[in-house]
Amino acid sequence: MERQKRIAAIHDVSCFGKCSLTVALPIISAVGIEVSVIPTAVLSTHTGGFEGYTFRDLTDDIMPIARHWKSIGLEFDAIYSGYVGSIKQLEILEEVFDLLRGDGTKIIVDPVMADYGVLYKNFTPDFPRNMKRLAKKADVLIPNMTEAVFLLEKPYTEGPYTEEYIHEIVEGLAGFGAKQVVLTGVYFDDDNIGTANFDAEKGSITYTMARRIEGYYHGTGDVFGSSLCASLLSGHSLESSARIAVDFTVSSIARTKEAGTDVRFGVNFEESLKDLIISVRSGDRL
């Protein structure tokens, strides 16, 4: 029997409002991959639209957890980082990557920090420059359009975009050293939105599009990133993994919109997990 794969997920824990670790754990585990976690903070809710939330910073716990893992000989097929709450944590995560990275360990970085041309609250203007150092350690980089241009120190522009512009962006990101770049929030018209998937080793780009669903739903980036990780680690190609992740995310949004759920609460991905498992266990594995 094939050895069970293991991923280290480094995100915060929002106790309510589906995002970060409460999304990564069930989605990646559902396809049979063991998920070990390093929580960067514990919050009563995520910060998008909620007031008065509690916040417990766990910066001082990150390296001791990683060192303990190293001391007992844990090995990881991938390390997946998401929301990182401070520049100090970014610096620590660079050390964690170096400490836990083994032969064949895939570093997957979602540089969570901005959307719609604006940095998230509590991030200072120099945060993207520091996030760039973490991005340079990534094998797979999965930013949205805002995060991509901030990393490249370019001005943010609204779409629709041209293929030439998107190609320029993903090639620029690949210049940091990533073998694969999945750029989210890409659209060429007002009806469809999706991803640009760039394989730096092949120099090839593909697009994965789906029908646009109006509205802003919290946690969808984490739903997408987690299902992408699950697919890549299960042996799917970049293009197939992006298709699986887009379909999974869109179905979760559609179900949530139909139910009329408060958008702050996150999307109903749970009822799509069975479909994710089927998709991951079939298709064009490498």
Segment 38-73, tens digit of pLDDT: 999 999 999 888 999 999 999 999 999 999 999 999
pTM of this structure: 0.96
Better-predicted residue by pLDDT, 109 or 49: 109
- 13 belongs to a structural domain: yes
- 1 belongs to a structural domain: no
- 103 belongs to a structural domain: yes
DSSP for residue 271: G
Burial letters 207-221, b for 16+ CB under 10 A, else e: bbbbeeeeeebbbbb
DSSP for residue 120: P
Q: Which two tokens stand for residue 181?
A: 């770049």
Better-predicted residue by pLDDT, 173 or 47: 173
> How far is residue 276's CA from residue 286's CA, in Å, rounded to a whole number?
18
- 258 belongs to a structural domain: yes
pLDDT value of residue 1? 72
Query: Considering its fold, how many domains does the chain have in total?
Result: 1
- 249 belongs to a structural domain: yes
Three-state SS for 56?
strand
Mean local confidence (pLDDT), 273-277: 97
Mean local confidence (pLDDT), 181-192: 98
- 286 belongs to a structural domain: no
Three-state SS for 236?
strand
Q: What is the pLDDT of residues 258-274, one digit of tens each?
A: 999 999 999 999 999 99
pLDDT value of residue 63? 98
- Please list the residues that pair with 183 across neighbouring strands: 196
Q: How confident is the model at residue 122 (pLDDT cuts 50, 70, 90)?
A: confident
Q: How confident is the model at residue 87 (pLDDT cuts 50, 70, 90)?
A: very high
Residue 136, pLDDT above cutoff 60: yes
Name the H helices within the chain.
Answer: 21-30, 59-71, 87-100, 127-135, 145-151, 163-174, 220-233, 238-259, 273-280
What's the domain range around 187?
6-280
Q: For the domain that residue 50 is a member of, what is the CATH number?
A: 3.40.1190.20
Burial letters 155-190, b for 16+ CB under 10 A, else e: eeeeeebeeeebeebbebbbebebbbbbbbbbbbee
DSSP for residue 264: G
